Amino acid sequence: MTTPTQSPQERRGDLGESLLGGPLPKRWSTALYADRHDAGRRLGALLADRRFEDPLVVGIARGGMPVAAEVAHALGAPLDIVIVRKIGAPWNRDLAIGAVAEGDLVMVDERAVAELGLCAQEVDEAVARALEELARTIDRLREGRPRIGVRGRSVILVDDGLATGRIAQAAIRALRERGALHITLALPVGAPESVQALADSVDEALCAATPQHLRAIGDWYADFRATSDEEMLALLAGHSGAAARSALISSEPGISAHGDLIVPWSAPGHGVIVFAPSGPSHAEAQLTAELAGVLERSGFGTLSLDWPQIDSPSRGERSEDVQITAQLMRAATDWLRSQPESARLPIGYVGGGAGAAGALVAAAQLRSALGALVALAPRLELTGGAIALLEAPTLLVVPEQDRELLAICHAAREAMQCESRIALLPGRSPLALDRRARESLAPIVTDWLARHISAMTQPPGGAAYACSAPERAAPARSVISGARTDPRDNPQLPLPG
């Protein structure tokens, strides 16, 4: 029954605003959502018609993940998780006085601290407990899986609801610090004052229902059971994937090579690696495939080029092979920058033998437009004066028993102006390695590329990529997972910039 003194909300029979069509129900009569998956499907329908630049859906652990998974499915976008833990008051861990998030982000609500009369020691102890719990949660939920890069992307941040907003605020801050270009906060239900308070922290806030009297998030779900670690891991595994397709790379009439492009959804935080043609050797081809697989599992995209079939009078001369490889590597780089899934990704090169020489020549011609280079037993005598023009950080991998090549590499480093390092592997040739040597090689290649390429961003209006020094990791150690740098190298070689 209505009266003239009732508010518009009361006359409508609901408790606030809804984007879902129809009035909001009262919790004690009918829940708004059957469960979190239902909320995610309905939220996804509201977002489906919107245009996002390179979208990534990020769910707030725990309850936000089932909702986010449905939104990711609706948008056809990759899914990742952001892990945030509340800082609980000393005598009531459920009473939040702040939050901590991945990346050692700590946010303390000074007003809550003052209202509770907490001293600095009590706050420090509460923060320490929260950080320990955060570290344990990250270990359980990441399982070594790299975070999907957010730099330069449109991020849709999703939770199952918004009460005080402290957890969401920490998640937003963490995403901003990682370089998110545009953040949309998407919620099935939230307290209107909390949604409004966070509106200035994001580029867009969309909340499907904002009841005037929220009371508890769980009141708006028929099934609000806790989300387990196993369920979150299953959701992440179910949304892992990669774009994969074949390509034909042509550098000039009569010179072309087939390639296989694989771009994992996590590649925007890492980059894409072009593998120089490995030649007809089965051992070289097998090593290339193994390294590409390791890099893909680490979050990198890969483009593996086949050896071109060319009828040429000079075919078979190594110098001719090097020039052909260099042309194909540059053509592959141009092609990657014209494709939607790789246009904004930093690029690195990996090559072995004469293929490494061709990659070095191409890298010298590209200058700073390349992120990093790994050369396995490179034929440096075929590169001419190209090594003096290199600007990309270059790792030279040398078999420790090949003293002649080791001496050549040391002489080459004297001519290089870029950051460089020599890594020694057991045996005579890194292109035909036993299992122990291959296991040593993969981590050092991954580490070199991750430290140099993952820190790269694309400057506005330019095709080249530049390094972002604050995100660079520490220099390579003298021993890395079984592979060791030459003792004449400086293990603390500083990174430029």
CA distances from 75 to 23, 40, 43, 170, 287 (A): 26, 11, 11, 25, 37
Instruction: Report the run of H or E that residue 295 belongs to, with start and end.
Output: helix 282-297
- pLDDT value for 276: 94
- pLDDT value for 268: 67
- pLDDT value for 319: 59
Pair 32, 24: CB distance under 8 Å: yes
The whole-angstrom distance between residue 195's C-alpha and the CA centroid of its chain comes to 28
* pTM flag (> 0.85): no
Pair 334, 358: CB distance under 8 Å: no
* In a shared domain, residues 86 and 195: yes
pLDDT tens digits in sequence order for the chain, 497 residues long? 233 333 333 333 344 566 665 556 554 445 889 999 999 999 999 999 888 888 899 999 999 999 999 999 999 888 999 999 999 999 888 788 999 998 889 999 899 999 999 999 999 999 999 999 999 999 898 876 778 888 888 999 999 999 988 899 999 999 999 889 999 999 999 999 999 999 999 999 999 999 988 888 999 999 999 999 999 988 887 787 777 788 899 887 778 899 999 888 766 668 899 999 876 667 777 888 889 989 988 889 999 998 876 655 544 455 578 889 999 999 999 999 998 778 888 999 999 988 999 999 999 999 888 999 999 999 999 998 899 999 999 999 998 888 999 999 999 999 999 999 999 988 776 666 667 777 788 999 999 999 998 666 433 333 222 222 223 233 222 222 233 444 344 332 222 22
CA distances from 165 to 103, 127, 169, 187, 451 (A): 19, 18, 6, 11, 34
The residue from 187, 217, 238 where one domain ends is: 238
CA distance 203 to 199: 7
Is residue 421 assigned to a domain? yes
Which one-letter DSSP state was computed for residue 493? P
Residues 6+ apart with CB under 8 A from 489: 421, 422, 478
Among candidates 163, 89, 168, 176, which has minimal Cα distance to 129?
Answer: 89
Is residue 493 assigned to a domain? no
User: Residue 167 has which token pair?
Assistant: 């957890």
- pLDDT value for 134: 93
Pair 397, 430: CB distance under 8 Å: yes
Q: Please state whether beta strands 255-264 and 301-305 pair in parallel, antiparallel, or not at all (unpaired).
A: antiparallel
**Which residue type sits at 383?**
T
Is residue 36 assigned to a domain? yes
Q: Please state whether beta strands 347-352 and 372-376 pair in parallel, antiparallel, or not at all (unpaired).
A: parallel
Is residue 433 assigned to a domain? yes
* In a shared domain, residues 477 and 378: yes
**Strand partners for 185:** 157, 205
The whole-angstrom distance between residue 170's C-alpha and the CA centroid of its chain comes to 19
- pLDDT value for 157: 98
User: CATH number for the domain including 317?
Assistant: 3.40.50.1820
Burial group, residue 143, by CB count within 10 angstroms (0-12, 13-18, 19+): exposed
Start-end of H helices in 88-228: 110-116, 120-142, 166-177, 192-198
Is residue 497 assigned to a domain? no
User: Residue 371 has which token pair?
Assistant: 């992120």
- pLDDT value for 27: 47
∠ Cα 132 138 139 (to 5°): 95
* In a shared domain, residues 219 and 346: no
- Domain of 202 in residue numbering reads as 10-238
- pLDDT value for 476: 29
* In a shared domain, residues 78 and 107: yes
* In a shared domain, residues 148 and 213: yes
Which one-letter DSSP state was computed for residue 285? H
Give the CA dihedral 150, 156, 157, 162, nearest 10 degrees. Answer: 160
CA distance 81 to 68: 9
3-class secondary-structure state, position 133? helix
Sheet of 301-305: strand order equals 242-252, 255-264, 301-305, 272-275, 347-352, 372-376, 394-399, 420-425, 483-485, 479-480
379 upstream amide cis, omega within 30 of 0: no
* In a shared domain, residues 83 and 164: yes
* In a shared domain, residues 217 and 94: yes
* In a shared domain, residues 222 and 251: no
* In a shared domain, residues 260 and 400: yes
* In a shared domain, residues 192 and 103: yes
Is residue 492 assigned to a domain? no
Is residue 99 assigned to a domain? yes
Is residue 402 assigned to a domain? yes
CA distance 479 to 444: 9
The residue from 205, 238, 271 where one domain ends is: 238
Place of tokens 């408790």: 15
Start-end of H helices in 16-107: 36-47, 64-75
- pLDDT value for 380: 92
Residues 6+ apart with CB under 8 A from 3: none
The residue from 238, 261, 279 where one domain ends is: 238
CA distances from 416 to 113, 123, 350, 394 (A): 56, 52, 18, 9
Q: How many domains does the chain fold into?
A: 2
* In a shared domain, residues 165 and 271: no
* In a shared domain, residues 230 and 274: no
